[in-house]
Structure 1
Amino acid sequence: MNLYSFSVKKPITILMITLVILIVGIVSLTRIPLDLLPKIEIPIAVVSTSYKGAGPQEIEKLVTKPIEGAVATVGSVKNVKSISMDGNSLVVIEFNFGTNMDFANLEMREKIDLVKGYLPREVSNPMVVKVDPNALPILQLAFYSDEDLGKLQSQVMEIIKPRIERIEGVASVAVTGGNEKEVAIVVNEGELERYGLSMDRITQTIGAENLNLPGGQVHSGGKKLTVKTSGEFSSIEQIKALPIPLVTGGVIHLEDIAQISLEDKEINTISRINGKDGINMSIQKQSGANTVRVSEEINKELNEILKEYPSLEMEIVLDQAKYIKDSIINVFKNALMGAAFAIIVLYIFLRDLKTTLIISVSIPVSIVATFILLYFRNITFNVMTLGGMALGVGMLVDNSIVVLENIYRMSEGGEPSDTAAIEGAKEVSMAVIASTLTTIVVFLPMVFVRGFTATIFKELAYTVVFSLLISLLVSLTLIPMLSSRSLRKKKKIERKDIFYKFYGKVEKEYKNILDWALRHKGWTVCIAVLIFIFTLTPLFLIGGEFFPPIDEGVFVVNISLPQGSSFKDINEVLGRLEGEIGNIEEVDTVFSTIGAGSLVSTSSSSTNSNKGSITVILKPLNERNKSTFQVADEVRNIKKDIAGADISVDVSSELMGGLGGDPVNISIKGDDLDTLKGIGEDFKEIVKTVPGTREVKSNYEDGIPEVKIVLHRDMASQFGLSTYQVANSVRGNLSGVVASKYKYEGSEIDIVVKKEGSKDETIQGLKSLNIPTPLGSSVPLLEIADIQVEKGPVNIYRENQSRVVSVTSQIYDRDMESTIEDIEAKLKDYHMPRGYSYSFEGQHKQLVKAYRDLTLVLILAVVFVFIILASQFESFIYPFIIILSVPLSFSGAALFLLLSGKSLSVPAIVGGIVLAGIVVNNAIVLVDYINTLRKNGMEKDEAVRKAGPTRLRPILMTTLTTVLGLLPLAIRRGEGSEIQSPMAIAVIGGLILSTLLTLVLEPVLYIMFDNLRNRNN
């Protein structure tokens, strides 16, 4: 008993199996987590080391180079990059994709251990850390209160932060902003000299008195009692009354020589949202934890906290989970709309509700069964898996259409329902199996692709393949069974409605075109070749990019003032920008920070007081008319009015992991830093002249101006002074010294000892600063040291053990490939010094690799399709005829990408790969039916003329269901749609053009090649 007979004769069994699949699939659906993208594991590790007091050149020579040399010998290393900076070394090691990072980390530690003995003794123990690309903050919160900002900060730190940290899946919680309290002890310099005291003496006395120390144990009544000496300050009054012993033998109190008060610390960080000061909380999830689930748990806890503390005000500034859910819902809506379009097409053609429902059942069964795969393979619901479902939703009914249409045709011909169901399915079984296998097999070569591209699209491939296999099984079992019960013996009905009149005209016109083509075979082939060449031309006009820009509704404005600028200066610039940005209609939230990272990147801002960032969050897509990129460009025009500030706008996608870096990234390699700096500045000016470039900058930074104190050791030793004593004295006079801690409202705050007027010291005042000596006298700093103002050290970047300077740029309103070509053309005329070279890195390098890998995948896909066809037809001629429809589809994809304004990107190329498996389906159905008619005794020409019109309806139906199923994905605007849109457009364009040409060209080629074979025989 074959499969078709079993399904028809055992209907209850088939229904029960289907029911079990549906139940397990629905249960699996409830257990699958949501995420924006498949989990991205980037094989990168970082070795960090510190060497306090050493400049970048010393760090490079003594620390970075030895570590680079050690880790470069580790297996599977792809690139070694490093940054040598003041007091720190950072070595970044990139491995080949697929490397086991746990073993790689162990091997790196072993190699580093071998060179530890050669590092300076003062160098810290090198720390090896595996980089997690998913470690960006998933939630940003802003807290407000009518109470004191310092008290609010204490509340956030002591109550809210610990409760959030306890939630499963939370890795870390960072709090910025607010005012910290300190106990300020401002010492009168005149009083110090009068009593013969020093700042060190005051600091030591406070530290020695503010202690609770254990004293051992004593026996009392047979018991052991713990002894503790308690001396911690419990009030400000105790600090004021602290006795200070004098050298002369007397005692004074601290308040006699100093002003003691509880005050706010000097502000060096700020968090402000929509112009209001507040406390910012940044929450990161653990590696492997699901963003949406962790966010939901955090929000539940926050609601409980707000109920317990009604005076607190909180605003969720940024929630990655919301964007993820919006993206998933948008793709899900597109899939549902596509399924609805496919069902409408079926009904229009069949005009039978029962028949339409029979075919339509393959969509929910196939999709629900796919949920089982996702659950057991631990795959999340993301834009790629749902995109795969949306991509396949139109194809899921293709097999069922072919099977049911054949059963329907036999039933109208007078066959009994059971016979029509069995024989109808049997007659087209080879065609539907071959067409399904050709679609599936194009995804097999994806296993040869490594890197970001494979990570993103592998789950899409799993989804499409599994859903199509289920749809094939449904078409050969459930569809014949339902048909045998529903399609009782039918008489052919002559339909006279508008659609069938129109379809009758289309069929008649097709017959005329086919007759003409068969009479003029040479002309037909020439016309097809000309159409192919004409439509393929746009491929060279549309340009290329790695991935389409993603409109996440967030961008960052980074502000940098000249070195040495004050906190007040940067705060004024930020305030001005905040006001102008907030007036833009599309802007929802403006979040400003100084001395902390931006909301969407931990590296966008520095802790320097001359740098800050503004995170701009836009309204949802459906509430604004401008894209993120347009609003960002509007902000770029605003910044032109602010002189003296270096302002850049970053619109890179953080949720996509940066997509391989900046669109334009020119890496200049050489030895001399000054030469590299000069080349970098030249390249910056050249890149700026290329249309479409934005935010052109070099990573070379001049050092920070600093005052350097060079001690005359011989002279200082005569006064009994060491470098440590002088440095402590200078620090105490300028910024104060933390002497101890004071418990205040449940937390510990600093007790800071400083001199009057320490905040307003000038360089001249520094030179005349009196340094107390151990003998009780003092000496001016100028007498024992030279005071110099010079530029501090710069960061030194290295790549593969060579110094490097990078020039980067963003792109606006242009594709990346054409922009890079224009830059390359201008750089060819630049004379590079001997020993210096440059290369394009970042997204361009990723794009070149993706093109190379996906071209291999495409070639292998076509070869695999040919192998499947050859094994099905037991011939090389017919598969060759069918495979000629593939290049026709590529030209259609190129034409539609040009018309839609899309560039050739990785998603579009993946669409081309999918096309290679889809477009042959129509040709398979056509050629297979021609062969069936010939086996039944029909002449070749007659068989060709009959097969075309007979298979016209199922071919049009399968094409339209696939095209309309993808149409919402191609044209709808919504969160996350940028990734799938080029892929859907490529498939639609290729399928439409190849179908039109297939219906005419394939019959012509069939006869031509068959005649050629007969002549050769």
Structure 2
Amino acid sequence: MKLIQTSINRPVGVIMIVAAIIALGFVSLRNLTIDLYPDIDLPVAVVSTTYEEAAPQDVEQLVSRPVEGAVSSLEGLEVLQSQSQQGASLIFMQFSTGVDLDSALLEVREAVSQVSGVLPENAGEPNVLRFDPQALPIMTIGLSGDTPQELQQIAEDQLVPYLERQGGVASISIEGGRTEEVQIEIDRAELAGLGLDAQSIVQTLNASNQAATAGSVDKGDKDIRIRVNGEFESVDDIKDTVITTEAGDRLKLDQIATVEKRIEDTGTVSEVNDETAVVLSALKKTDANTVETADNIRAAMEEVAPDLPDDVQMETVLDTSEFIKVSINSVIMNILIGGLFAIAVLLLFLKSIRATLVIGISIPIAIISTFTLMYFTGETLNVLTMGGLALGIGMMVDSSIVILENIVRYRQLGYSMKEASKTGATELAPAVIASATTTLVVFLPIMLVEGIASELFTPLALTISFALIASLAVSVTLIPMLSSKLLTKAMQDGKRYWFDNLLGKVNRGYQRVLRKVLKFRKTTVFATILAVAGSIALIPLIGTSFIPDSDQGQIEIDVSLERGTALQETEKVTSAISERLEGFGDVIDVHYLSIGSGEMGLAGGSSDRASYTIQLIDPGERERSTREVMEDIDAELQSVVGAEVEVTEMSAGLGTGSPIQVQLNGQENEVLNELADQVVFMIEDIEGIVAPSSSTEDSEPQLDIDVDPSKASAYGLTEQQVISDVQLMFQGQTATRYREDGEEIEVRLVTPVDENSSVADLESAPIRSATGELIPLSSIAEIEQIEGPVTLLRENQQPQVNVTADIGERDLGSVTADVEEELEQLNFPEGYTYEVGGQAQDMEEAFGDLSVALMFSLFLVYAVMAVQFENFLFPFIIMFSLPATVVGVAGGLFITGLPLSLPAFVGVIMLAGIVVNNAIVLVDYINILRRRSYSRYDAILEAGPNRLRPILMTTVTTVLGMVPLALGIGQGAEAQQPLAVTIIFGLTVSSFFTLVLIPVVYTYFDDLSVKISGFFRKRVE
């Protein structure tokens, strides 16, 4: 090949090109974005709307349904889901793959704006945003040491504006703070005596809190604009607001009501390490570097810390960048260990530091070149892409080994250094290119299929592909050039080493095995079939799962009290829990308590729910694993009285939703609730099912007010007037807002606490009739206590109830199969359906996508080999090395106790391209020898032992390069472990079958080829 000859003749040019590539690689590395996992580009949008204090039924009827109706006809919309809970509505829209989400978001905003006017008056403005399941806070900061309102003020005025200006920061949210508001406490009886009501006060306040432009006047040669400023500027302005009574008297507001600033009661509590705190959560921009953004935030915290009050402390509660850095460093360590293993193998086989250096240099060049290609294709440095480099560390030297081995052989035959390099490299370059190409083409289908599997593993596939392309280029350019310069003394024959003697024995033994299998061909094929069949029988025992979770040293505690429990009672329980957590002070770095917070920063939280987020100290500083600590904490907290406590290990896995999720759909919520109860009852005894629950299991006490229209109309009242009066009494009413010292302050009308704290207060709540008379609510309405839903779900504009469950010691696939078997026995009424979702559904879809990718990969591997050999039969010979991989894959997963997961499946696809490489080298050399007039039998006996050395070298370097990942060394290695185990066992076993089975298959296909040729020759004659 001209490229090989040019590289040998012009070494300076090759070295300059390599130097330029290395320099560009280091520049690219500095600019690569670092993250934990690849970005998953899912076309999902969400519309969030607050509806203060509204019950889930009202949220669904008045907010969720109108918004659903507005967006349901959008083009490309596949799934429409809504979640209605107290005070908040969430509408999720999943669009077809390929839809431009930016354009879709514009259409969603336009559709939602058309229904904004029909939403309730006290509903918030619908917020349309892109939904990213990975868009979680990258850092959480605790601010403690002062009152919540002071901490809120410090956070709003000093921290948030400064932190949001830092590079990569998208937004900073605040939780746990308190704000001041002006409360106007009214006496409804006194107001009624003056002929006033709440609405008249609200109207007066709004009219008094106005500013307007009133034209302009001339002053000299200038126009001066006139502005009438009537806005409130202080509480005194509100107190001095003049109220005109029905009799015409003019009174100041503070004469008929109590007006004062008070702290807003949010019903939430936030604590960091048992101290009341305000918590700031930082979100990064979509394309920002997580580690760099977190570093920017930490630097900003250090800069602003001296300006905080002396008694205010600021500390990092959670920092995801730390786990990312530890994970990436672990993978880098695995790359170094794998590289050292590969180099040790080379040194063992080659017996020469120079020869080892010639091949070993291909590893760093391939890695550095990969960084350049990653940068220009927009990939990020993450656990999977770096894991791809660790997985490919052994494969990077395969092509170089085969080329160098042939160069050495020609050198030992007496060729000059240049001629040996040229001839040896040129002879096997086509086979090496074909081998590398078969490995590369298996990744193409992964990139082309749709779904989460492609989103996750395309970056890994690209990374390995880039590394192999770079190593291939090195093997046909740099290796021949370096060999012609450095191997002068290295390849001179000397005394035989112990390893040479060992290889000699292996070669002779292998030659004897070849003679045996060529003599007993049918027995060899039959034994292979039995081995494959036995391995297939193991598959049901292995099981399946989605994606392994990663241990990031975080634990979550969910505390559930009886629905409707007051905040003070919840605080008593959490105090008891916090006391028990003090016993784990040796392993807990920081813990964060949140009571009553809603989802996604919305309303909808409940004072009877609390959660702890615990960050453990570094793994090297504790003897127990995260799971062991979690189990100890769980055992300690199960005896807490008055609450259900669930302790779980937070993972950095990519599973979506619960492992098991049964989605029930139909027309009536009551029927769905009954079906859900039956499903829970049926699956709770399935082995491996943990804590099955229905989304309707949780209910909260609710007082339903049923207004009698005839009685109400007798007093001149409408149902809306009754609702307004009850709302005013029990949740207050926002009258207006004003600005004071740059802060916007809310002005609310409220009633005395002692008038709205009990059921009796509700029954006797005074309702103002048309004549001004105050009548008790119970005289015009029935009041009944019921159990109301906590959350109402809908999918595609139909009610939905979900049954969810975790899994224990069994694999996800087996548990899912048992659940589906139970569900098939359940008789569903007409119009009611079920679907198994959650991680089980994601796993099924991903496995389906990867199965299609595997089929295409096998076809592409065959096509590449058909082109290489210019023959349709020889590729079939080589493809017979593939069934044997089942023996290694099934045996490896069974021995290590790992289920068949997405990473393991990707490993199977990779094997389709890797295991044929040895067979290609072997069959190609048999053909070369036969073209040199060797008989078939002699060619096989010569080619086998001759190619055994490079086959062993490539196999052992590839396998040992992956051993650190297979052992799961370091944090973040869990995702690559099944992939590495699959390749190690699959390649090892397949290599053995390749050396023994492929020569036998070669003879069968050669006989077939002769018969076919003879048949056509006779037809021609």
Same fold (TM over 0.5): yes
Give yes or no for contact 2:86–2:604 (8 Å, CA) kept in 1: no
Q: 2:605 aligns with which of 604, 607, 612?
A: 607
**Counterpart Cα distance in 2 of 1:828 and 1:973:** 43
More deviation, 232-241/581-590: 232-241
In the other structure, the counterpart of 2:341 is 341
Structure 1 pair 320/201, CA: closer, same or farther in 2 (3 Å)?
same
Question: Does residue 1:155 correspond to 2:192, yes or no?
Answer: no
Question: Does residue 1:265 correspond to 2:264, yes or no?
Answer: yes
In the other structure, the counterpart of 2:324 is 324
Question: Does residue 1:308 correspond to 2:307, yes or no?
Answer: yes
- 1:35-114 to structure 2, matched below 5 A, reads 35-46=35-46, 74-83=74-83, 91-105=91-105
More deviation, 659-668/56-65: 56-65
Give yes or no for contact 2:267–2:567 (8 Å, CA) kept in 1: yes
Give yes or no for contact 1:394–1:964 (8 Å, CA) kept in 2: yes
**Counterpart Cα distance in 2 of 1:490 and 1:169:** 53
Question: Does residue 1:556 correspond to 2:552, yes or no?
Answer: no
SS in 2 for 1:137: coil
Question: What letter corresponds to residue 297 of structure 2 in structure 1?
Answer: I
**Counterpart Cα distance in 2 of 1:763 and 1:343:** 79
**Counterpart Cα distance in 2 of 1:188 and 1:320:** 52
Question: What letter corresponds to residue 974 of structure 1 in structure 2?
Answer: G
- 1:897-936 to structure 2, matched below 5 A, reads 897-936=893-932
In the other structure, the counterpart of 1:823 is 819
SS in 2 for 1:99: coil
**Counterpart Cα distance in 2 of 1:125 and 1:117:** 7
In the other structure, the counterpart of 1:292 is 291
Question: What letter corresponds to residue 286 of structure 2 in structure 1?
Answer: S
The alpha-carbon deviation at position 652 of structure 1 amounts to 6.5
Q: 1:868 aligns with which of 858, 864, 868?
A: 864
Structure 1 pair 214/490, CA: closer, same or farther in 2 (3 Å)?
closer
- 1:518-529 to structure 2, matched below 5 A, reads 518-529=518-529
The alpha-carbon deviation at position 785 of structure 1 amounts to 4.5
Give yes or no for contact 2:564–2:701 (8 Å, CA) kept in 1: yes
Question: What letter corresponds to residue 304 of structure 1 in structure 2?
Answer: E
Structure 1 pair 760/307, CA: closer, same or farther in 2 (3 Å)?
same
- Using structure 2 for the length normalisation, give the TM-score: 0.90
More deviation, 986-995/287-296: 287-296
Question: What letter corresponds to residue 702 of structure 2 in structure 1?
Answer: E
Structure 1 pair 737/86, CA: closer, same or farther in 2 (3 Å)?
closer
**Counterpart Cα distance in 1 of 2:100 and 2:741:** 49
The alpha-carbon deviation at position 659 of structure 1 amounts to 2.5
- 1:948-987 to structure 2, matched below 5 A, reads 948-987=944-983
Structure 1 pair 309/108, CA: closer, same or farther in 2 (3 Å)?
closer
Question: Does residue 1:993 correspond to 2:993, yes or no?
Answer: no
Structure 1 pair 414/85, CA: closer, same or farther in 2 (3 Å)?
same
The alpha-carbon deviation at position 272 of structure 1 amounts to 0.9
In the other structure, the counterpart of 1:595 is 596
Tell me the alpha carbon deviations over residues 247-284 of structure 1, each in whole angstroms, 9 at most, x when there is no partner.
Answer: 77777776666666554333511111221110011122
Structure 1 pair 713/854, CA: closer, same or farther in 2 (3 Å)?
closer
Question: What letter corresponds to residue 153 of structure 1 in structure 2?
Answer: Q
The alpha-carbon deviation at position 798 of structure 1 amounts to 3.3
Structure 1 pair 496/338, CA: closer, same or farther in 2 (3 Å)?
same
More deviation, 641-650/228-237: 228-237
In the other structure, the counterpart of 2:478 is 478
- 1:444-523 to structure 2, matched below 5 A, reads 444-488=444-488, 492-523=492-523
The total of aligned residue pairs comes to: 1010
In the other structure, the counterpart of 1:181 is 180
**Counterpart Cα distance in 1 of 2:961 and 2:475:** 19
Structure 1 pair 56/302, CA: closer, same or farther in 2 (3 Å)?
closer
- 1:96-495 to structure 2, matched below 5 A, reads 96-105=96-105, 129-145=129-145, 147-184=146-183, 186=185, 262-266=261-265, 268-309=267-308, 311=310, 312-488=312-488, 492-495=492-495
Question: What letter corresponds to residue 482 of structure 1 in structure 2?
Answer: L
Give yes or no for contact 1:178–1:277 (8 Å, CA) kept in 2: no
In the other structure, the counterpart of 1:618 is 616
More deviation, 31-40/1005-1014: 1005-1014
Structure 1 pair 84/833, CA: closer, same or farther in 2 (3 Å)?
same
- 1:661-740 to structure 2, matched below 5 A, reads 661-700=657-696, 704-711=700-707, 726-739=722-735
CA RMSD in angstroms comes to: 3.7
SS in 2 for 1:397: helix
Structure 1 pair 749/834, CA: closer, same or farther in 2 (3 Å)?
closer
Tell me the alpha carbon deviations over residues 351-410 of structure 1, each in whole angstroms, 9 at most, x when there is no partner.
Answer: 111111011111111111112211111111112221221121111111111111111122
**Counterpart Cα distance in 2 of 1:808 and 1:347:** 55
**Counterpart Cα distance in 2 of 1:28 and 1:347:** 32
Tell me the alpha carbon deviations over residues 543-577 of structure 1, each in whole angstroms, 9 at most, x when there is no partner.
Answer: 00121223233343333333322111222233333
Any stretches of 5+ residues in structure 2 without a counterpart?
1015-1021
The alpha-carbon deviation at position 218 of structure 1 amounts to 5.5
**Counterpart Cα distance in 2 of 1:233 and 1:72:** 44
Question: What letter corresponds to residue 1003 of structure 2 in structure 1?
Answer: I
In the other structure, the counterpart of 1:544 is 544
Give yes or no for contact 1:28–1:375 (8 Å, CA) kept in 2: yes
**Counterpart Cα distance in 2 of 1:958 and 1:371:** 24
In the other structure, the counterpart of 2:576 is 576
Give yes or no for contact 1:417–1:483 (8 Å, CA) kept in 2: yes
**Counterpart Cα distance in 2 of 1:119 and 1:818:** 49
SS in 1 for 2:29: helix
Question: What letter corresponds to residue 291 of structure 1 in structure 2?
Answer: T
**Counterpart Cα distance in 1 of 2:105 and 2:198:** 48
Question: What letter corresponds to residue 334 of structure 1 in structure 2?
Answer: N
Give yes or no for contact 1:414–1:490 (8 Å, CA) kept in 2: no
**Counterpart Cα distance in 2 of 1:271 and 1:54:** 24
**Counterpart Cα distance in 2 of 1:118 and 1:268:** 29
SS in 2 for 1:934: helix
Question: What letter corresponds to residue 468 of structure 1 in structure 2?
Answer: L
**Counterpart Cα distance in 2 of 1:361 and 1:692:** 50
Give yes or no for contact 2:399–2:471 (8 Å, CA) kept in 1: yes
Structure 1 pair 207/410, CA: closer, same or farther in 2 (3 Å)?
same
In the other structure, the counterpart of 2:943 is 947
In the other structure, the counterpart of 2:1017 is none
Give yes or no for contact 2:967–2:977 (8 Å, CA) kept in 1: yes
Give yes or no for contact 2:554–2:650 (8 Å, CA) kept in 1: no
Give yes or no for contact 1:81–1:799 (8 Å, CA) kept in 2: yes
Tell me the alpha carbon deviations over residues 89-133 of structure 1, each in whole angstroms, 9 at most, x when there is no partner.
Answer: 6553323322233444566678889x9799899999987644233
**Counterpart Cα distance in 2 of 1:728 and 1:216:** 39
**Counterpart Cα distance in 2 of 1:527 and 1:17:** 51
**Counterpart Cα distance in 1 of 2:144 and 2:59:** 44
**Counterpart Cα distance in 1 of 2:179 and 2:867:** 76
- Using structure 1 for the length normalisation, give the TM-score: 0.90
SS in 2 for 1:660: coil
**Counterpart Cα distance in 1 of 2:31 and 2:536:** 45
Tell me the alpha carbon deviations over residues 160-207 of structure 1, each in whole angstroms, 9 at most, x when there is no partner.
Answer: 112223335433321111343344555678876887876666666666
In the other structure, the counterpart of 1:836 is 832
The alpha-carbon deviation at position 64 of structure 1 amounts to 6.6
Structure 1 pair 583/504, CA: closer, same or farther in 2 (3 Å)?
farther
Q: 1:891 aligns with which of 887, 892, 906?
A: 887
The alpha-carbon deviation at position 529 of structure 1 amounts to 3.0
Question: What letter corresponds to residue 893 of structure 2 in structure 1?
Answer: L
Structure 1 pair 467/645, CA: closer, same or farther in 2 (3 Å)?
same
**Counterpart Cα distance in 2 of 1:833 and 1:769:** 44
In the other structure, the counterpart of 2:1019 is none
Structure 1 pair 345/762, CA: closer, same or farther in 2 (3 Å)?
same
Question: What letter corresponds to residue 592 of structure 2 in structure 1?
Answer: F
Give yes or no for contact 2:144–2:272 (8 Å, CA) kept in 1: no
